[in-house]
């Protein structure tokens, strides 16, 4: 069985005080969570604080982005070595906001995934379609192209060190959520896509749902056979909500 993974993407939110409070509450509440892997991804300025607060806990630290450069005159960039130095074990790559607002292409994202894995971290590769693409029934072709961007550039074996997060872009921050059946259908397609290259990798790779998972719908979503966790946005900024999703992961894992 694949262990559930719940990762909180804090995006560009928080200050020193709120981060301390949020992490303290998550740490306290996570002491009873035993079957779900928990990850938090704060903004870059809070990595040092987060690493210190998380020391000695089971909660893992992740980053929201990574540079394609190792070092040098790249003002404002953060390298993989820097992230690894601060204890990051995960890096989000190819989030829909990076694709839309910062023009990250499939080739750039593949390069980031490769660098992340080379430095011993796991990539959370985000894929997903916009509302317009969904209405034109392009969901599978869009996701296939996004996955091929990594497979053709790096090879299928890299997926041994990748989690995939399906982000229906139309359901992020809109209050809309794919039904469990809709989400499962796309997750199954993603697994079949990976299986066409490697059955072994397809069986063990974790595919997370990244479309406004909440405490209220977490159990229904996580109960689907191909949904292995969640990449959580807004709900990860509220400790009780985030912990409720993590507990849903434990509940589902206990039933399987």
* Active-site residue list: 95, 167
Instruction: Tally the C-alpha atoms within 13 A of residue 96's C-alpha that lie toward its C-beta.
Output: 20
* Token output for 80: 């993989």
Of 178, 240, 247, 186, nearest to 213 by C-alpha is 178
Q: From CA 11, how far away is CA 205, in angstroms rounded?
A: 25
Q: Are 93 and 126 in contact (CB under 8 A)?
A: yes
- Contact call for residues 116 and 162 (beta carbons, < 8 A): no
Alpha carbon 69 to chain centroid distance?
Answer: 22
Task: For residues 176 and 164, give the distance between their C-alpha atoms in angstroms, rounded to a whole number.
Answer: 21
CB atoms within 10 A of CB 17: 8
H/E segment holding residue 151: helix 139-154
Cα pseudo-dihedral 186, 190, 195, 201, rounded to 10? -130
Q: Determine how β-strand 5-9 pairs with β-strand 88-93.
A: unpaired
């Amino acid at each position: 069985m694949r262990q559930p993974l719940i990762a909180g993407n804090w995006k560009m939110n928080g200050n020193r005080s709120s981060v301390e409070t949020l992490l303290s509450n998550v740490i306290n509440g996570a002491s009873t969570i035993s079957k779900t892997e928990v990850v938090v991804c704060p903004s870059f300025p809070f990595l040092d604080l987060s690493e210190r607060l998380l020391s000695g806990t089971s909660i893992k630290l992740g980053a929201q982005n990574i540079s394609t450069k190792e070092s040098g005159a790249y003002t404002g960039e953060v390298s993989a070595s820097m992230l690894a130095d601060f204890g990051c074990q995960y890096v989000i790559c190819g989030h829909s906001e990076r694709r839309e607002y910062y023009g990250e292409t499939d080739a750039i994202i593949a390069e980031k995934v490769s660098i992340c894995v080379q430095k011993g971290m796991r990539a959370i590769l985000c894929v997903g379609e916009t509302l317009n693409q969904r209405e034109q029934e392009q969901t599978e072709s869009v996701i296939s192209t996004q996955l091929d961007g990594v497979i053709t550039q790096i090879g299928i074996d890299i997926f041994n060190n990748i989690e995939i997060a399906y982000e229906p872009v139309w359901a992020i921050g809109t209050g809309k959520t794919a039904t469990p059946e809709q989400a499962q259908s796309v997750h199954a397609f993603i697994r079949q896509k990976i299986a066409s290259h490697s059955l072994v990798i397809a069986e063990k790779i974790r595919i997370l749902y990244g479309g406004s998972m909440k405490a209220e719908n977490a159990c229904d979503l996580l109960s689907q056979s191909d949904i292995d966790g969640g990449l959580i946005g807004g709900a990860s900024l509220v400790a009780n909500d985030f912990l409720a999703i993590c507990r849903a992961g434990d509940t589902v894992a206990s039933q399987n």
